[in-house]
Structure 1
Amino acid sequence: MLWLSPTSDDIHHHFNFGPADTAGEDRYVWRHGDDDYKPCFSSMQTWQQVRVQHPTVAWSKIVWFPHAITRFSFITWLALNDRLSTGARSRAWGCIQPCLLCREPDETRDQLFFACPYSFTVWINLVGYLLGPRVNPDWSLTITSLLSTRRKEIDTDLLKLAFQATIYNLWRERNSRRHHGHPQSAGQLVRVIDN
């Protein structure tokens, strides 16, 4: 059996008998919403249609704000979602991992930020003058304190930046100790964050 491929004229004839001349020309339209089609493409409208929307969480203002540093925000976002690979997460794989900063046998997010004596020393040295006696090693109380609206805007922004920088640098210090074994004292880490 011999098979002959169609020529371009055959293909053109096959697809060129479209709608009647009275129907007008075909045109592309882009969906902008329910029963809303426009001739222009909008990436924002497309994103709004394909994404899953969730209610805004209260702590989002601690992570995403105009003066935030992106790499700090990302690690803070992971910490607030409890997605950092702490000892509590590795325990699910059968690996027991103590806190590398203070040797507490159970490393969790709440313990690492700021129940650990090392991390609390760093935290209190950075924000003690802004928070005063309200500095607390409890994670949820710290988050609640950062969400308070009773401060000046500049103090709030400084606290959020200090919080993010502390989370980021404590996480780096913890990972550095895990992989390289070059520990910094709490005072050295405060100087790094302060700079």
Structure 2
Amino acid sequence: MDNHFWLGKQNPKFADFRNQFYSNLEVVEWHKFIWHKKASLRYSVYAWLAFKGGLKTADVLAMRGITDHFNCCFCHGEKETVSHLFFDCNFTFNVIKSLLPWMDSHLLKPNLYQVYDSIYEQKINKQLKHYYLLSASATIYHLWRARNDRLYGGIIDSQETISVKIRKALILKTHGWKRY
């Protein structure tokens, strides 16, 4: 029987293949925030896009020569950027505060990374940490949808309505979780 050696291992595992395949990619600190055990692909993709600057906010579109709108559709006071939209805007900050209660004690509005990092700073069990990480990603997804609804669909949801939509989505997602 022939042995197939790969990376000097007689019995390689899938993790060995995966590690070699991704070995040339940059390691980012925020991967644990969005790609955790209880992550939802739909929400994680939007969080990933927000971290990578892949969401088509007004500043990104303007760099491509597309000038559809400039100001934040929630507060109408600042230029729409990822950092403003998540969570420098008073509107979006109030939404995240309704879901993550300790956010109210921050002296300054947190940015995207600081929201996720604050979840890791909490003295909570792993299950609750996954719930809050999922909450943050779901918030990004639903705020992005609310933004697009305002700009392109003529639907204007309040902070409370968006918070309720997020809570309902979280209930549906976590319904089958053990010990939750």
TM band (smaller chain): 0.7 to 0.9
Equivalence for 2:114 = 141
How many Å separate the matches in 2 of 1:145 and 1:48?
29
Equivalence for 1:71 = 42
Matched, 1:192 2:165: yes
Equivalence for 2:79 = 106
Query: What code does the residue aligned with 2:137 have?
Result: Q
Q: Which has the larger radius of gyration?
A: 1
Q: How does 1:10-49 map to 2 (within 5 A)?
A: 32-33=6-7
Kindly tell me the number of residue pairs found equivalent between the two proteins: 165
Q: What displacement does 1:33 show?
A: 3.1
* Alignment gaps of 5+ in structure 1: 1-27
SS of equivalent to 2:6: strand
How many Å separate the matches in 2 of 1:131 and 1:156?
15
Q: 2:61 aligns with which of 90, 100, 109?
A: 90
TM-score normalised by L of structure 1: 0.70
SS of equivalent to 1:147: helix
Q: What's the Cα RMSD here?
A: 2.8
How many Å separate the matches in 1 of 2:88 and 2:39?
25
Pick which of 78-87 and 142-151 moved more: 142-151
Equivalence for 1:151 = 124
1:113 and 1:119 in contact (8 A); partners too: yes
1:166 and 1:193 in contact (8 A); partners too: yes
SS of equivalent to 1:141: helix
Q: 1:181 aligns with which of 148, 154, 161?
A: 154
Give the fraction of aligned pairs with identical amino acids, expressed as a percent: 25
